[in-house]
Amino acid sequence: MGNGASITLSQVGISFGVAQIVSGFSLDIRPGEFICLLGPSGCGKSTLLNAIAGFLPVTGTMTVAGKPVVGPGIDRGVVFQSSEVLFPWLTIRQNVEYGLRLRGVPSQVRRQKADHYIGLVGLSHAAERFPAQLSGGMRQRAQIARVLINEPAVVLMDEPFGALDAQTREVLQEELDRIWRATGCTIVFVTHDIWEAVLLADRVVVMTAGPAAGIKSVKEVGLSHPRDQADPAALEIFRQLRDEIGAEVTRALAQQGLSSRKEAAE
Amino acid sequence: MTYITNGSSKMIATRIRSLSMEQIGRFLLPAISISGGLLLWHVCSLMTSPLFLPSPLMVWNAAVEMALDGSLAASVWASGTRIFAGWAAGVALGVPLGLFMGRFRTVRMLVDPYIEFFRFIPPIAFVTLAVIWLGPGELTKIALIFYTTIFIVTLNTIAGVESVNPLRLQAARSLGANQRQEMTSIILPSTVPFMVTGARIAMGNSFLTVVSAEIVSAQQGLGATIWTARNFARTDWVFVGIIALGCLGFLFDRIFRIVTQKTLKRFL
């Protein structure tokens, strides 16, 4: 099993044209760590994740396992929020096997590995079905299996459970925790759900509101697993994070108000 | 419990009844519509001369006559093979052309001016030129149908490539796909519905083209049949030609739909 890789971000900046989305972002992620990126919506969490995935060019330094990131690669698997990214013309098994097929892995090995990872995400009964025949939660499981079969050192997850109902989300959060332990990969997980971050993360990175978003604070969660929402220590961390994000949102709104007033004055 | 059983069995019974009604309707309504149309045609034909509007029976007799002397089958075969050859060539070239134009901006920018120009010129405008350049033979007709088809298929395929979900491409890339694999494993299958639609529209337009081409330069074919009927003042032959065209088109479309449904189901 491929062990997790370290990720180093140093003074990372991302811009779309003249708009600076992320700036001066520095963070060291330990191998095998579970990091949650939390922040007000539109702050650039997903943008940062896409940059680590190699979909976007950045300024500054960004390395995974010591190697600079240049474009997408199979060392970094990406789980998207939308399950539209599953290929609808392939069965779940074929979707999961996709990465191996690209590299010409013989079908015997492919099948064995696919069985393993489909089992790991609890989809053995649905392996021969097409994505359209599955529920949203099952499709996200399939996506996770499709990424894990490449044995990536890093898994990047962009609000993977954001579109699911509360019960399904809870089940999948528990399973993700289990899968993370089983694989030992490094996970960077974007969410705007504070509880999700408290339940899953080793460290929670709270981002400032954009434009030019950076790090507001990094919080070590340090609670044992499985975690419980009713645990007072967890509740305390939840409160602190909520207050920080609340303050950030208020600041951003005030700034927007200020700038729009300025515009009006001009 | 009994109540539920009763309720559900009643529901099933209703469903069976409504289903069979629907099935009857599927055959009955078109049959009523067709016989109504024939009747109207017949009544109209009684009020005028056969040269102006022959009756359905006259047309039927003409069709039997043409079927017996073999000219009908020869015409249908001539037109059918021309359409199929030109259309198949157009699809075979239009699909890769559309894929490359949709995928690579440079290819697109090189070919686009020509596409944008020629798409407004109907194939009929090229009939004379085609005869001068390619002679009066089969090639002329096939080339014109090819021209008809390739534009529609190319433009549809480009639209398909442009509508590929960019997240799917990102997913493929991060799973290890290179440019070629992206094309074959993501863009090509994602674009299939657009290709099929394009090919189907092109099939319809090919019928348009084949008639005009055959009217200008052909000894055989349904267009030629319609045109030569003029020399003999046989309006009933014209009708036979027109009806045969309609039936052939319907048949081609049905076959196309069945084949695509069977072979490309998972992509549609």
The whole domain housing B194 covers 56-267
Lowest mean pLDDT of A7-16, B2-11, B216-225, name the range.
B2-11
Contact A147 B175 (CB under 8 A): yes
Contact A85 B171 (CB under 8 A): yes
Contact A85 B168 (CB under 8 A): yes
Residue B5 has pLDDT above 50, yes or no: no
Task: Tell me which range, A39-53, A139-153, B217-231, is most confidently predicted by mean pLDDT.
Answer: A139-153
Same domain, B25 and B134: no
CATH number, domain of A24, equals: 3.40.50.300
Q: What is the DSSP letter of B183?
A: I
Residue A173 has pLDDT above 50, yes or no: yes
Same domain, B36 and B74: no
Mean pLDDT of A23-45: 90
Contact B170 A98 (CB under 8 A): no
ipTM attached to this prediction: 0.89
Quick: pLDDT tens for B165-204.
Answer: 999 999 999 999 999 999 999 999 999 999 999 999 999 9
Residues of B in contact with A150 (CB under 8 A): 175-176
Same domain, B11 and B107: no
Between B4 and A240, the higher pLDDT residue: A240
Q: Is residue A251 part of a domain?
A: yes
Our CA-based measurement puts residue B183 at a distance from the nearest CA of chain A, in whole angstroms, of 12
pTM: 0.83
Q: Tell me the H-state helices in chain B.
A: 2-46, 56-68, 71-103, 105-118, 127-134, 138-162, 166-174, 179-182, 188-216, 222-231, 235-263
Quick: pLDDT tens for B19-41.
Answer: 677 777 788 888 999 999 999 99
Report the pLDDT value the prediction gives residue B162, as an integer from 0 to 100. Answer: 93
Same domain, B15 and B120: no
Residues of B in contact with A72 (CB under 8 A): 170, 173-174
Average pLDDT of chain B, as a whole number: 89
Report the pLDDT value the prediction gives residue B27, as an integer from 0 to 100. Answer: 85
| Structural domain count, chain B | 2
| Structural domain count, chain A | 1
Same domain, B43 and B153: no
Same domain, B25 and B102: no
Our CA-based measurement puts residue B171 at a distance from the nearest CA of chain A, in whole angstroms, of 7
Lowest mean pLDDT of A6-10, A166-170, A184-188, A213-217, name the range.
A213-217
Our CA-based measurement puts residue B268 at a distance from the nearest CA of chain A, in whole angstroms, of 8
Same domain, B37 and B66: no
Same domain, B147 and B195: yes
Same domain, B176 and B93: yes
Residue A211 has pLDDT above 90, yes or no: no
Report the pLDDT value the prediction gives residue A104, as an integer from 0 to 100. Answer: 93
Same domain, B200 and B128: yes
Same domain, B111 and B223: yes
The whole domain housing A68 covers 7-75+152-265
Q: Of B47, B69, B84, which residue constitutes the final position of a domain?
A: B47
Mean pLDDT of A101-117: 94
What phi and psi values does residue A193 have, to the nearest 5 degrees? -95, 110
Residue A2 has pLDDT above 80, yes or no: no
Mean pLDDT of A197-222: 87
Dihedral in degrees, nearest 10, Cα atoms B224, B226, B227, B232: 120
Report the pLDDT value the prediction gives residue B82, as an integer from 0 to 100. Answer: 94
Beta-strand runs (E) in A1-105? 7-16, 19-29, 34-38, 59-64, 67-68, 76-79
On the question of a cis peptide bond just before residue A211, with omega within 30 degrees of 0, the verdict is yes
Residue A17 has pLDDT above 90, yes or no: no
Average pLDDT of chain A, as a whole number: 90
Q: Is B107 helix (H, G, I), strand (E, B) or coil?
A: helix
Q: Is residue A228 part of a domain?
A: yes
CATH number, domain of B98, equals: 1.10.3720.10
Which residue from B minimizes the CA distance to A85? B168
Q: Which residues partner with A218 through β-bridges?
A: A205
Same domain, B30 and B110: no
Contact B175 A103 (CB under 8 A): no
Which among A72, A82, A84 has the least Cβ separation from residue B174?
Answer: A72
Contact A103 B176 (CB under 8 A): yes
Which among B165, B176, B266 has the least Cβ separation from residue A102?
Answer: B176
Q: Is residue A258 part of a domain?
A: yes
Contact A103 B189 (CB under 8 A): no
Report the pLDDT value the prediction gives residue A1, as an integer from 0 to 100. Answer: 42
Mean pLDDT of B124-136: 89
Our CA-based measurement puts residue B107 at a distance from the nearest CA of chain A, in whole angstroms, of 24
Q: Is residue A213 part of a domain?
A: yes
CA B108 – CA B115 distance, rounded (Å): 10
pLDDT category, B11, cuts 50, 70, 90?
A: low
pLDDT category, A229, cuts 50, 70, 90?
A: confident
Contact A84 B266 (CB under 8 A): no
Contact A74 B185 (CB under 8 A): no
Residues of A in contact with B177 (CB under 8 A): 102
Mean pLDDT of A29-40: 92
Q: Tokens 């997408």, residue?
A: A72
Name the residue among B18, B116, B67 with its Cα closest to residue B247: B67
